[in-house]
Amino acid sequence: MSKALTMHRTVVTPGDRARFLETARAKARHYEAAACRYWLFEEAALAGAFIEFCEAPDAATLTAAHAAAPGRILDPSRVYTSVELS
């Protein structure tokens, strides 16, 4: 089964954290409605350092979801596709 994934790292200041998390919640709702999955992780040793993952069943679905996503996507064309290892 093919999958497509994007990753985005960002660092936010304590004053921007609430706004960033609200945008992340909006992104989560958006990607779910677009048949994608969205994850947000924060670095354990550095508060405010986040990495976002967006996954879709294929690159076209992910590209379309990014085009309509809330917030800024820095490099939506950098899409990774799954590799079959068996």
pTM of the model: 0.86
Give the residue extent of every domain in the chain: 4-71
pLDDT in tens, 26-83: 999 999 999 999 999 999 999 999 999 999 999 999 999 999 998 777 777 789 999 9
Residue 35, sorted as left (phi over 0), alpha (psi -120 to 50) or beta, turns out to be left
Q: How sure is the predictor about 1, in pLDDT bands with cuts at 50, 70 and 90?
A: low
Q: Which residues, other chains included, contact 12 with Cβ-Cβ below 8 Å and sequence gap of 6+?
A: 20, 48, 50
Task: Say how far apart CA 50 and CA 33 lie, in whole Å.
Answer: 23
According to CATH, what is the number of the domain 4-71?
Answer: 3.30.70.100
Task: Say how far apart CA 70 and CA 84 lie, in whole Å.
Answer: 32
